[in-house]
């Protein structure tokens, strides 16, 4: 087996060497020229009423300020969803790269007719480009087949469609969203579960389009889990692997029919490629295990929307102090002591715990005596989110200070909530607390003055304290501060600061307006960032991703350093730029060799971690050396 692998690797190196030798004399003639900016729109020319389809706007250069058209006559389900693709070609030793950016809308044909979709616009290199318009004919007929009873399956946002030779069935992978309660009470906890059903090997969910849930307060229940849970289910006689990748606790905040919008997620399904060249040698060599015969097809899954019928809480039996708590709760209270002195702090704590809308609970109204000074409560939460839902406790801690001695009481506390399991209201009571307050040491006497009327006015001797009596020791300051040197300095200082801020703002504006200079300054920093990404992929064993990150670091550095778009960046013009900037010839040759090795290693990776690590060290060293030589 090792001998076969060695033979294949030698053949691959031989093929690459022949290509390099054949094209060495005509590099300039075959180099890919800078592409003109192309901005196009594509879509199906004819759809049926109720069918979902997509409109894709594609541009071959990086742009900004994309503005889509008005999709009159259609419902916009999602968009614009952005994606990008990069490709590298080696033709007779000439290396060229191309990029493509896509803006995808998913539309629903609402009614029959002939509709025109106007052009979109985008800014590329400071110039505005306009796409072509589209005409779509909507006819009557059956809607497009759904991916499964619980989901809708669409092509990936990247625009890739499975070829005729790839066997990905419409029921092989789909998405479902389910709930544990279709008719909850307002404020009752509802669990929403998002599952992917698959009969294929798929990647973990990557891009997600998660709509907001209007009318709900939500909490992610799986945010602390490290990996997705997988089970098996049988549907219509077919066994599926089920990946539960999302679970949400939702609390409805209003009554009536509330919608759970469709959820969208992108996965990659692995299918076997059926393409053949007709040449037995190439079919066996390039279709064998050396070049994987399986292909990952990006697939966008979309669930069906749900509708919950939220019921209003009953008026019958509703307690007077009910504040909207729904769930199953316990309520308790405690004081840190029942005997204390005046001006000592007393701590009283009430704790609400259980399962339900704890986050909606408000601080209770505690009946403190009028002679107590009371501070606002400190609210502490200890919530736990797991697969069963949201539970935990919320505590309210009060600090009260008695100012006069005597016997006092804190009134009984009650907490009322609605229990969905029994469909009725319940009330929990916390008994009253009796307190004994004695006069503190060194405290002045407190008296009570009875007025002629029926009202009693209490005088607290310690409320006004620490007044200084006697001579205040005030002295004349002398000369007036007005028009003194200090006064003049303070008057001029704001004008100086304003002038300095204008100078700073002008320099900052000039600094940021030169986009090319900004790219040159960040070139080395971004290259080092890509190299750190490559090193992390090397440690995790991701060989293909490692070489891809190495290539991105090199090409990204050259594009930023010379302010060139990736679409027009080739090895020849990069080499010319380096020599124009007086970069030493050995450094240029080392960079060219490194680019060729990195691109070739993506298809024929060397064996051994040290061999891979050597390319990382070479890339770091040559980028640093070129940067230093250009700064001289």
CATH code of 366's domain: 2.60.40
More confident residue, 483 or 402: 402
Most trustworthy range by pLDDT among 434-448, 497-511, 592-606? 497-511
Q: Is the pLDDT of residue 131 over 90?
A: yes
Q: Is the pLDDT of residue 121 over 90?
A: yes
Looking up tokens 């997509």, which residue turns up? 54
Give strand ranges (E) for 187-326: 190-198, 208-209, 216-220, 229-235, 238-252, 256-260, 264-272, 294-303, 306-310
Give the C-alpha distances (Å, rounded to integers) separating 141 from 51, 75, 138, 281: 9, 18, 9, 48
Query: 208-212, 530-534, 575-579: which range is least confident on average?
Result: 208-212
Query: 77-86, 182-191, 279-288, 573-582: which range is least confident on average?
Result: 279-288
Q: Which residues contact 402 (CB under 8 A, 6 or more apart)?
A: 340, 342, 343, 344, 346, 369, 371, 372, 408, 435, 437
The phi, psi pair for 161, rounded to 5°, reads -115, 140
Same domain assignment for residues 303 and 173: yes
Q: Is residue 69 reached through a cis peptide bond, with omega within 30 degrees of 0 on the bond before it?
A: no
Q: Which residues contact 579 (CB under 8 A, 6 or more apart)?
A: 585, 588
The phi, psi pair for 446, rounded to 5°, reads -110, 135
Q: Which residues contact 431 (CB under 8 A, 6 or more apart)?
A: 412
How high is the pLDDT of residue 185? 94
Q: Percent of the chain scored above 70 by pLDDT? A: 72
Residue 100 lies inside a defined structural domain of this protein: yes
Most trustworthy range by pLDDT among 116-125, 151-160, 567-576? 116-125
Looking up tokens 């700064």, which residue turns up? 631
Residue 477 lies inside a defined structural domain of this protein: no
Burial (CB < 10 A; 0-12, 13-18, 19+), residue 265, is buried
Same domain assignment for residues 391 and 529: no
Same domain assignment for residues 292 and 190: yes
Residue 1 lies inside a defined structural domain of this protein: no
Q: Look up the CATH number of the domain holding residue 91.
A: 2.60.40.10
Query: 27-31, 63-67, 151-155, 226-230: which range is least confident on average?
Result: 27-31
How high is the pLDDT of residue 514? 58
Give the pair of three-digit tokens for residue 626: 């070129």
Q: Is the pLDDT of residue 282 over 60?
A: no
pLDDT one-digit tens code per residue, 382-423: 988 888 888 999 999 999 999 899 999 888 989 999 999 999
Distance of CA 629 to the CA centre of its chain: 40
More confident residue, 183 or 568: 183
How high is the pLDDT of residue 416? 92
Same domain assignment for residues 355 and 378: yes
According to DSSP, residue 311 is labeled B
Same domain assignment for residues 246 and 294: yes
More confident residue, 100 or 631: 100
CB 55 within 8 A of CB 113: no
CB 401 within 8 A of CB 346: yes
Would you place residue 286 in the very low, low, confident or very high pLDDT band (cuts 50, 70, 90)?
very low
How high is the pLDDT of residue 573? 78
What gap in Å lies between CA 29 and CA 91, rounded to an integer? 11
Same domain assignment for residues 239 and 259: yes
| Helix residue ranges per DSSP H, 481-608 | 485-513, 515-540, 543-561, 571-580, 585-601
According to DSSP, residue 168 is labeled -
Looking up tokens 């539309």, which residue turns up? 107
DSSP letter for each residue of 28-54: HHHSPPPPPP-EEEE--SEEETT-EEE
How high is the pLDDT of residue 40? 93
pLDDT one-digit tens code per residue, 319-356: 988 888 999 999 999 999 989 899 888 999 999 999 99
How high is the pLDDT of residue 36? 84
Q: How far apart are the first and last CA of the chain?
A: 52
Pairing of strands 378-386, 346-356: unpaired
Domain final position from 438, 454, 486: 438
Same domain assignment for residues 93 and 170: no
How high is the pLDDT of residue 21? 45
User: What's the average model confidence in pLDDT over 182-194?
Assistant: 93
Residue 479 lies inside a defined structural domain of this protein: no
Give me the residues paired with residue 350 across strands: 333, 396
Residue 400 lies inside a defined structural domain of this protein: yes
User: What's the average model confidence in pLDDT over 68-74?
Assistant: 88
Would you place residue 43 in the very low, low, confident or very high pLDDT band (cuts 50, 70, 90)?
very high
Domain final position from 289, 312, 335: 312
How high is the pLDDT of residue 129? 93
What gap in Å lies between CA 117 and CA 135, rounded to an integer? 6
The phi, psi pair for 461, rounded to 5°, reads -65, -20
Domain final position from 144, 168, 184: 144
How high is the pLDDT of residue 518? 67
User: What's the average model confidence in pLDDT over 461-490?
Assistant: 63
Same domain assignment for residues 198 and 111: no
How high is the pLDDT of residue 451? 33
Give the C-alpha distances (Å, rounded to integers) separating 358 from 186, 354, 368: 14, 8, 25
The phi, psi pair for 495, rounded to 5°, reads -65, -40
What gap in Å lies between CA 412 and CA 333, rounded to an integer? 10
Q: Is the pLDDT of residue 10 over 80?
A: no
Domain extent at residue 294: 145-312
Q: Do you know the residue count of the chain?
A: 632
What gap in Å lies between CA 545 and CA 534, rounded to an integer? 7
Looking up tokens 């295990």, which residue turns up? 289
User: What's the average model confidence in pLDDT over 446-460?
Assistant: 38
How high is the pLDDT of residue 450? 33
CB 134 within 8 A of CB 120: no
How high is the pLDDT of residue 170? 66
Give me the residues paired with residue 332 across strands: 351
Q: Look up the CATH number of the domain holding residue 580.
A: 1.20.120
Residue 461 lies inside a defined structural domain of this protein: no
Same domain assignment for residues 382 and 395: yes
Residue 164 lies inside a defined structural domain of this protein: yes
Same domain assignment for residues 162 and 132: no
Sign of the CA dihedral running 61, 62, 64, 67: positive
Query: 222-236, 386-400, 610-624: which range is least confident on average?
Result: 610-624
Query: 253-267, 431-445, 533-547, 582-596: which range is least confident on average?
Result: 533-547
How high is the pLDDT of residue 566? 66
What gap in Å lies between CA 471 and CA 363, rounded to an integer? 48
Neighbour tally for 487: CB within 10 Å: 12
More confident residue, 468 or 584: 584
Give the pair of three-digit tokens for residue 548: 């891809």
How high is the pLDDT of residue 164? 40
How high is the pLDDT of residue 122? 93
Across the chain, mean pLDDT equals: 77
Would you place residue 193 in the very low, low, confident or very high pLDDT band (cuts 50, 70, 90)?
very high
Looking up tokens 């992108």, which residue turns up? 266
Domain count of the chain?
Answer: 4
Same domain assignment for residues 221 and 174: yes
User: What's the average model confidence in pLDDT over 449-453?
Assistant: 34
Q: Is the pLDDT of residue 140 over 90?
A: no
CB 570 within 8 A of CB 578: no
In a 3-state reduction of DSSP, which class is residue 616? helix
Residue 85 lies inside a defined structural domain of this protein: yes
Same domain assignment for residues 124 and 205: no
Would you place residue 568 in the very low, low, confident or very high pLDDT band (cuts 50, 70, 90)?
low
How high is the pLDDT of residue 62? 85
Pairing of strands 433-438, 339-341: parallel
More confident residue, 514 or 547: 547
How high is the pLDDT of residue 445? 52
What gap in Å lies between CA 392 and CA 379, rounded to an integer? 14
What number of CA atoms fall less than 13 Å from residue 137's CA on the CB side? 4
């Amino acid at each position: 087996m090792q001998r076969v692998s060695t033979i294949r690797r030698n053949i691959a190196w031989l093929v690459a060497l022949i290509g390099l030798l054949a094209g060495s004399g005509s590099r300039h003639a075959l180099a890919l020229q800078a592409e003109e900016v192309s901005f196009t729109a594509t879509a199906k020319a004819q759809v049926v009423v109720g069918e979902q389809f997509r409109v894709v706007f594609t541009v071959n250069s990086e742009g900004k300020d994309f503005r889509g058209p008005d999709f009159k006559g259609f419902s916009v389900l999602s968009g614009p969803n952005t994606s990008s693709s990069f490709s590298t070609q080696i033709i007779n030793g000439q290396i060229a790269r191309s990029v493509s950016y896509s803006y995808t809308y998913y539309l629903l044909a609402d009614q029959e007719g002939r509709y025109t979709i106007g052009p979109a616009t985008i800014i590329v290199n400071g110039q505005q480009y306009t796409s072509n318009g589209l005409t779509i004919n909507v006819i009557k007929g059956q809607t497009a087949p759904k991916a499964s009873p619980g989901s809708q399956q669409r092509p990936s946002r990247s625009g890739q469609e499975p070829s005729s030779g790839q066997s990905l069935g419409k029921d092989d992978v789909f998405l479902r969203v389910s709930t544990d309660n279709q008719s909850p009470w307002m404020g009752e906890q509802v669990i929403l579960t998002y599952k992917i059903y698959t009969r294929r090997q798929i990647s973990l969910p990557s891009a997600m389009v998660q709509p907001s849930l209007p009318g709900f307060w939500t909490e992610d229940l799986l945010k602390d889990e490290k990996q997705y849970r997988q089970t098996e289910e049988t549907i219509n006689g077919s066994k599926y692997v089920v990946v539960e990748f999302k679970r949400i606790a939702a609390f409805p905040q209003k009554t009536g029919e509330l919608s759970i919008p469709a959820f969208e997620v992108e996965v990659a399904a692995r299918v076997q490629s059926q393409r053949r060249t007709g040449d037995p040698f190439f079919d066996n060599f390039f279709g064998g295990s050396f070049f994987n015969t399986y292909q990952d097809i990006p697939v966008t899954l979309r669930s069906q929307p749900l509708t919950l019928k939220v019921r209003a809480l009953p008026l019958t039996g509703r307690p007077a102090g009910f504040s909207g708590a729904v769930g199953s709760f316990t309520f308790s209270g405690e004081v840190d002591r029942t005997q204390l002195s005046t001006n000592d702090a007393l701590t009283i704590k009430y704790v609400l715990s259980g399962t339900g809308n704890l986050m909606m609970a408000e601080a209770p109204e505690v009946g403190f005596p009028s002679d107590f000074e009371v501070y606002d409560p400190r609210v502490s939460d200890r919530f736990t989110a797991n697969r069963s839902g949201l539970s935990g406790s919320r505590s309210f801690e009060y600090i009260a200070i008695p100012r006069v001695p005597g016997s006092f009481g804190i009134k009984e506390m009650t907490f009322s909530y609605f229990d969905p399991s029994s469909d009725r209201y319940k009330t929990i009571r916390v008994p009253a607390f009796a307190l004994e307050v004695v006069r503190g040491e060194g405290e002045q006497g407190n008296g009570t003055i009875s007025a002629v009327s029926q009202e009693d006015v209490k005088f607290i001797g310690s409320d006004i304290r620490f007044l200084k009596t006697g001579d205040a020791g005030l002295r004349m300051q002398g000369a007036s501060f007005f028009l003194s040197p200090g006064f003049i300095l303070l008057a001029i200082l704001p004008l100086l600061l304003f002038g300095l801020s204008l100078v700073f703002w002008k320099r900052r504006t000039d600094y940021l307006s030169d986009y090319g200079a900004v790219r040159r300054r960040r070139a080395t920093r971004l290259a080092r960032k890509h190299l750190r990404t490559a090193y992390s992929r090397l440690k995790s064993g991701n060989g293909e991703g490692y070489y891809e990150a190495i290539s991105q670091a090199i090409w990204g550095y050259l594009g930023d350093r010379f302010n060139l778009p990736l679409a027009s960046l080739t090895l020849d013009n990069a080499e010319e730029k380096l020599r124009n900037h007086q970069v030493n010839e050995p450094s240029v040759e080392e960079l060219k060799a490194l680019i060729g090795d990195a691109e070739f290693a993506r298809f024929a990776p060397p064996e051994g971690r040290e061999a891979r690590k050597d390319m990382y060290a070479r890339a770091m060293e040559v980028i640093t050396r070129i940067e230093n030589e250009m700064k001289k």
